[in-house]
């Protein structure tokens, strides 16, 4: 996080992967209790992140350090202007508004508990979809727009709806 910024539970966060070629997203939940599936032991994570992880592992709760692995850590912005949305880095913001932090965290934990967010798909069901679904109630992925702004958002959403029955 930039100097002076503090994370609040319910924040949508993201970190750079492969030198910024794409971003990994999650929901900062603050304090979280995790159970080791091998030993059954539980422990509290002080700075926990709930995020969607590919390769069949579904949604996981992890510590903040493991989430960003020493890369930059950023807060995703909501309610940005359409002009800002068009010119900001894809996958860093949305013009849509979001729910209150308690609703966001409840959704993240519900998906974690039920493991029902669906199969991972790099373009149509990824970690950014998970985080925006928790925050807004609608799964969106602005980084899949590859910097195309509002026109790309329209094409992406139409394509996602047309292929939904094929992919899922």
Determine, yes or no, domain membership for 76.
yes
Span 37-91, pLDDT tens digits? 678 788 888 888 888 887 667 888 889 998 999 898 999 999 998 888 777 777 7
Determine, yes or no, domain membership for 2.
no
Span 60-74, pLDDT tens digits? 888 999 899 989 899
Determine, yes or no, domain membership for 19.
yes
Q: Write out the DSSP string of the chain.
A: --TT----TT-EEEEEEGGGTEEEEEEEEEEEEEE-TTT--EEEEEEEEEEEETTTTEEEEEEHHHHHTTS-EEEPB-S--HHHHHHSPTTSB-SS----HHHHHHHHHHHHHHT-S---BTTTBSHHHHHHHHHHSS---SGGGTT-HHHHHHHHHHHHHHHHHHH-
Q: Which domain holds residue 119?
A: 12-167
Determine, yes or no, domain membership for 3.
no
Determine, yes or no, domain membership for 137.
yes
Determine, yes or no, domain membership for 154.
yes
pLDDT at 167: 43
Confidence of residue 157 (pLDDT cuts 50, 70, 90): low
Q: What is the mean pLDDT of the chain?
A: 81
Determine, yes or no, domain membership for 143.
yes
Span 102-113, pLDDT tens digits? 999 999 999 988
- This prediction has a pTM of 0.80
Determine, yes or no, domain membership for 7.
no
Span 14-28, pLDDT tens digits? 998 887 778 899 999
What is the tally of structural domains in the chain?
1
pLDDT at 166: 46
């Amino acid at each position: 996080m930039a100097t002076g910024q503090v994370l609040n539970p319910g924040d949508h966060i993201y970190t750079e992967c492969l030198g910024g070629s794409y971003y990994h997203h999650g929901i900062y939940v603050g304090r979280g209790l995790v159970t080791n599936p091998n030993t059954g032991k539980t422990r509290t994570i002080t700075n926990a992140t709930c995020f969607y992880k590919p390769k069949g592992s579904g949604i996981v709760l992890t510590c903040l350090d493991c989430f960003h692995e020493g890369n930059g850590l950023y807060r995703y912005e909501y309610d940005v202007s359409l002009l800002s949305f068009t010119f900001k880095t894809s996958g860093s913001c949305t013009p849509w508004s979001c729910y209150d932090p308690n609703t966001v965290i409840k959704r993240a934990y519900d998906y974690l508990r039920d493991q029902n967010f669906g199969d991972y798909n790099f373009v149509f069901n990824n970690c950014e979809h998970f985080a925006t679904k928790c925050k807004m109630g609608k799964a969106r992925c602005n980084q899949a727009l590859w910097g195309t702004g509002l026109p790309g958002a329209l094409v992406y959403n139409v394509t996602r709806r047309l292929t939904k029955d094929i992919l899922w």
